[in-house]
Amino acid sequence: MSSRVLLGAENIDQNAWGAINGCEPASLLEGLHYQNRADQLNYGQFLLKMPISADDNPYHGFGGSPFKNQSGKFEAIFTRPLIWWGSQYGHLQELSGADPQWLYDAVRHGNPVLTFVTVHFEDPDWDIYPFGKVPTNNHAVLLDGLDGDQVHVSDPIDGQYWLPQSKFERIYNSRRMAIAINK
């Protein structure tokens, strides 16, 4: 990898707002704010504008509630509805399926990347829902830095930190879901 890059995106603590399942909108808003978009909205206001899926399918909108766990529901929102919603605030680019190098290139060009990973970057704990197989420890973070064999994330649960690129890639590659938040 080339020289150190640290965009310095803000960190939104989803739990401080009571949004125990609100990692995707927190990561998206961190990236939008970094690009000077949606600046008039705080996280609470942003959450209220998020599309909720009528059928609890995260491929259609947010499944369930960002504020509580509900039996049988998968509380998350995936890339397509995130892009549909978030594009009213900024320039979003679907990177799902992309090799990790594409994510790193986006960061090198000043564009943080919302990446779907797992809580604490632990091994995925897979389960089957009506819409498909997903990890129950689903999580989203904002990739905003690179330094040698390390990557930097702004994590709505654990804060901002560096972690080994190999660990990031192992978890990211389990699903390869990402969105670049462009200038």
Average pLDDT of adjacent 10-residue blocks, the chain of 183 residues = 86 98 98 98 97 96 95 95 98 98 98 98 96 96 97 98 98 98 97
Q: May I ask the CATH architecture of the domain 5-182?
A: Alpha-Beta Complex (3.90)
Residue with token string 């999580």: 139
Tokens read off for 66: 């960002």
Domain ranges of the chain: 5-182
Rounded Cα distance between 161 and 148, Å, is: 15
Rounded Cα distance between 31 and 35, Å, is: 6
| Res 146: pLDDT | 98
Residue with token string 């900024």: 90
| Res 3: pLDDT | 85
**Which DSSP string do the residues of 129-152 spell out, in sequence order?**
ETTEEEETTEEEEEEEEEETTEEE
Rounded Cα distance between 124 and 110, Å, is: 29
Indicate the DSSP class of residue 53.
P
Helices (H), 20-125: 23-34, 43-49, 79-86, 100-108
Tokens read off for 104: 């790193």
Rounded Cα distance between 55 and 70, Å, is: 14
Tokens read off for 177: 């879901």
Q: How many CB atoms lie under 10 A from the CB of residue 161?
A: 14
| Res 2: pLDDT | 53
Cβ neighbors of 85 (< 8 A, separation 6 or more) are 49, 50, 51
Q: Enter the pTM of the model.
A: 0.97
Helix or strand or coil: residue 127? strand
| Res 117: pLDDT | 98
